[in-house]
Structure 1
């Protein structure tokens, strides 16, 4: 008779809860231990408008719903299939810990709890879960098993590099047919694999080539033409594909990834301006990740002056579009008009949290600095007629607890990539300048 599988004990760090306030429901039938010092740290984060403040408040509400004396005495089951949730009071530092860590700080108190459960339960595996790499290294130095929070990490980070498929030696006859008829059936396309919706292709024959997209609703490979959006002309195939997604009314959610200078934000804003008559409002927002993770209150000036440096790159992109036209032109004046009427708004992401966005073109810049939960919260605010665009560079993640596999932009792209209303394009070629391209590649 096979023995029952031995469950594990997971000790959670504060940053896991601040990353996902529902994390306690992600450990199946294993026990979860939350050190009391974690609750003390969460209390410091309850006030404020930043994402981590929201996560802290939501977790406290979740905990309040299940609170009971058993939480501190043996634990309480969250549901019939789950393990127990335990709030652990502080544990004494072992001699090894005293010799290794002189300071009595929250991280070390969490380590002490993890060490206690490791020694008290030799037949069960105790794991410290933290998004802090340094704390994981400290734990391992004490012989404590430690892991990152993996629940919302993508399995295949190369999904970003596979957004465009280039096929060499394609039939010149089929390329000519795509040009002349605008599309061919999937059955006639001779593709090696079944494509996902809105997959982009560069077909290269001996004498010709063509840009195309798989249209799932009609099961066809359709030609993608180079289109100008509010004075901005695509300079390469990647930018052409990006504008195709951005200008397609049937694609409601777009993800644009790529290094600095590839034109992600500029293309998104140009596409929004090109379609300004179709939407009640154009919103361009970005999360604020303060320097050294310090609150904006540390910066001088009033609220607008504190925020201004973070929003300036967005205004720079708007300036590029404006200067594609004569200052006396209707297009130039329309931008100023939309800004004045607040139909074109550039704002920190926190300022629009909680709003219901109906018939809006909503661009979220620097989305690689958002958690998966934050991305979900934003998308679920989309009302009827709204199009959402997320742009970001996975090589420039400013949050200390996110990486290429766990950030919101990667998570969303991985989960949504097979949906007909979604499209993703990874831009590789920099178009800002040769110097910018060289620096991005070499430095």
Structure 2
């Protein structure tokens, strides 16, 4: 039976309608190709663009007004991550871009300059909400762009992002779509201040101060857009307090916070319950390999264990082990080497407590490439790291030299025009290194008191040998370096940003071990907190990697005076 002839005009195949069901039927129906050249030419023409909406009635500053109710639209439920959950349109007709919220539902975040200088990518971290930049913020960015500091680099990066957004969008009238540079998670728009804003604040503030100008902009935006939530985002605590005093919503920048509470930070140690062997002692497999005893256990607690985490049980059947493998409700534990015994001393140093013993097991393990040690002053972080580095550099020759660097506050700035070499300029920052070398030098026992039996020439020769294998480097010249077979110690790592920490850790070449030391309770870098520190960042991100380990040292071992002071003061 011959097929019926196809219509000449492809437009007769589908009836144009705004009805959703008819739209689905038209899109899913199989279409035969046009036969005539004229029909083929018409079929290949691009669809006509919808007429631009009238700009009359829009609020000022280029922020578009809400959509009119009579405009044809498809109901979309926001699921929190931009997912289009309830649309009835088939997958073939659904747009590749995620749907945008209605204007009223999107917050308008006014960014302070310090947020952009702290994290240049903050422009793309507000998901479906909009961003507003006052003109004063652009002025302050321009003032901060000169120099080689981290702040200057961030200012230049923000300027490049803004330039790219303007180039892609071409117009500032309705805002700049933030996902045009490839950041698909940014579903909002960016708006610049294009008109003068003036409003009377509830409290009279000096007009010449930059913070007060930004507060005035936030207050004016609230009056211009009463149906939208306008929020000031600033890293400056006093700025947020002033805003709250004026009745303006203000928030900190939370995107770079790894954790909300420092007490939730991974400690690397888990105490086992007293009934551990009762619930996990059935069908235990054990074997020995290379002087280490391994246990394969099964039980409900195994699912909570993390690779390279230390577990301990004290009592009649004590256990001190490290998690080597986790698979469902099965885990493999490996016994530890007891570094608290004098025969296992590391460059004359023995572990004074349980956590120090765990730390030395990580520092002396050649399969562990990254180690992070947290703890208060006097817990022995630098001493343990130096002892492990000297032993593996001068005795076992696993590493060729020790490289020590630390965050100089302000981080990344030039170390000055002081006379001398790079190491001589860094010596004022390395007082902790000198103090620990005195403890580790030949002729000193584990308590750091000289026994007086070693002649001075022997001490001097040993110190010269030690210093020849220890290099002190500045972070200002770390970019582009690659360290091969080095023992790299990063001291005071809590003062590093996540970006700076990434720069340092990625310097590691084959055979290099990196040890990060710090105390997140002593952060000196502006706008860094316990939750956003680079040290907190790497502890959380390296958690569970088979070639990394972390220990939080609990007890101070410096002296009874220092221990009492840390508790009483």
> What TM-score do you get using the length of structure 2 for normalisation?
0.68
Partner residue in 1 for 2:550 = 424
Q: Is 1:336 aligned to 2:445, yes or no?
A: no
Q: Write the distance in 2 (CA, Å) between the matches of 1:167 and 1:179.
A: 22
Q: Secondary structure at the match of 2:435?
A: helix
CA contact (8 A) 2:375 2:381 kept: yes
Note closer, same or farther for the CA distance 1:117–1:300 as it changes in structure 2 (3 Å cut). same
Partner residue in 1 for 2:382 = 265
Partner residue in 2 for 1:185 = 295
Partner residue in 2 for 1:221 = 333
Q: Is 1:379 aligned to 2:483, yes or no?
A: no
Please point out which of 392, 417, 434 is paired with 2:518. 392
State the Cα distance separating 1:214 from its structure 2 match: 0.5
State the Cα distance separating 1:327 from its structure 2 match: 6.8
Alignment of 1:125-274 (within 5 A): 125-155=229-259, 157-160=262-265, 162-167=267-272, 169=274, 171=277, 182-187=292-297, 191=301, 193-206=303-316, 208-216=317-325, 219-227=331-339, 228-274=345-391
Q: Which range moved further: 263-272 or 185-194?
A: 185-194
Note closer, same or farther for the CA distance 1:57–1:270 as it changes in structure 2 (3 Å cut). farther
Note closer, same or farther for the CA distance 1:72–1:282 as it changes in structure 2 (3 Å cut). farther
CA contact (8 A) 1:49 1:350 kept: no
Q: Write the distance in 2 (CA, Å) between the matches of 1:392 and 1:327.
A: 36
Q: Write the distance in 2 (CA, Å) between the matches of 1:232 and 1:145.
A: 54
CA contact (8 A) 1:356 1:383 kept: yes
State the Cα distance separating 1:329 from its structure 2 match: 9.5
State the Cα distance separating 1:262 from its structure 2 match: 0.4
1:233-260 CA-to-partner distances (Å, cap 9, x unmatched) read: 2111111111111111222111111111
Q: Secondary structure at the match of 2:483?
A: coil
Q: Is 1:50 aligned to 2:149, yes or no?
A: yes
Q: Write the distance in 2 (CA, Å) between the matches of 1:388 and 1:365.
A: 11
Q: Is 1:278 aligned to 2:434, yes or no?
A: no
Q: Secondary structure at the match of 2:346?
A: coil
CA contact (8 A) 1:183 1:220 kept: no
Q: Write the distance in 1 (CA, Å) between the matches of 2:326 and 2:457.
A: 39
Partner residue in 1 for 2:440 = 321
Please point out which of 467, 473, 479 is paired with 1:353. 479
Q: Is 1:76 aligned to 2:176, yes or no?
A: yes
CA contact (8 A) 2:267 2:550 kept: no
Note closer, same or farther for the CA distance 1:190–1:371 as it changes in structure 2 (3 Å cut). same
Unaligned runs of 5+ in 1: none
1:335-379 CA-to-partner distances (Å, cap 9, x unmatched) read: 533534xx4212332232332233322111111111122222222
Q: Write the distance in 1 (CA, Å) between the matches of 2:364 and 2:207.
A: 56
CA contact (8 A) 1:178 1:223 kept: no
> What TM-score do you get using the length of structure 1 for normalisation?
0.86
State the Cα distance separating 1:317 from its structure 2 match: 2.4
Q: Which range moved further: 48-57 or 187-196?
A: 187-196
CA contact (8 A) 1:10 1:33 kept: yes
CA contact (8 A) 1:90 1:109 kept: no
CA contact (8 A) 1:311 1:347 kept: no
Please point out which of 407, 411, 416 is paired with 1:287. 407
Q: Secondary structure at the match of 2:524?
A: coil
State the Cα distance separating 1:106 from its structure 2 match: 2.2
1:114-146 CA-to-partner distances (Å, cap 9, x unmatched) read: 223232222222221111111111111222211
Task: Say which structure, 1 or 2, has more relative contact order (CA 8 Å, 6+ apart).
Answer: 1
Q: Write the distance in 2 (CA, Å) between the matches of 1:278 and 1:166.
A: 33
State the Cα distance separating 1:301 from its structure 2 match: 5.3
Note closer, same or farther for the CA distance 1:322–1:100 as it changes in structure 2 (3 Å cut). farther
Q: Secondary structure at the match of 2:472?
A: strand
1:300-347 CA-to-partner distances (Å, cap 9, x unmatched) read: 95587875432222332233222547577989746533534xx42123
Q: Which range moved further: 183-192 or 54-63?
A: 183-192
Q: Secondary structure at the match of 1:232?
A: coil
